[in-house]
């Protein structure tokens, strides 16, 4: 179940990067979702990697006080406990 979700999100990333290279918010959301899948699979290293990618994009999209950044930092803290 989770691996199918992960594969579909990876396809979405490929499409976004190829067809919509300026769709940063959508790409960040997709990276976040992949991180969630890996978290649920208990693959915390991969989850952390995708949360890092999310955070990198979030910094380009949002101000430093945006709740989206707080959410991503929370997710990173959770996988790095």
Question: Tell me, what's the pLDDT at 58?
Answer: 93
- For residue 39, the tally of other CB atoms under 10 A from its CB is 19
Predicted structure pTM score? 0.89
> Top-level CATH class of 2-79?
mainly alpha
| Residue-averaged pLDDT of the chain | 93
Mean of the pLDDT values across residues 24-40? 95
Question: Tell me, what's the pLDDT at 65?
Answer: 87
Torsion of CA 63, 6, 44, 30, to 10 degrees: 0
Alpha helices, H only, 41-80: 44-61, 67-79
Q: What is the pLDDT of residues 54-63, one digit of tens each?
A: 999 999 998 8
Compute the distance between CA of residue 37 and CA of residue 9 in angstroms, rounded to an integer.
9
Question: Tell me, what's the pLDDT at 20?
Answer: 94
For the chain, state the CA radius of gyration. Answer: 12
Any idea where the domains of the chain sit in the sequence? 2-79
* pLDDT at residue 14 tops 90: yes
How many angstroms separate the Cα of 77 from the Cα of each of 20, 39, 44, 51?
30, 12, 11, 10
Question: Tell me, what's the pLDDT at 2?
Answer: 84
């Amino acid at each position: 179940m989770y691996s199918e979700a992960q594969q579909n999100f990876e396809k979405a990333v490929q499409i976004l990067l190829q067809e919509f290279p300026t769709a940063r918010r959508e790409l960040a959301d997709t990276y976040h979702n992949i991180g969630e899948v890996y978290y649920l699979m208990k693959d915390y290293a991969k989850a952390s990697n995708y949360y890092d990618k999310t955070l990198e994009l979030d910094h380009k999209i949002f101000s430093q006080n945006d709740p989206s950044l707080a959410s991503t930092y929370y997710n990173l803290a959770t996988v790095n406990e």
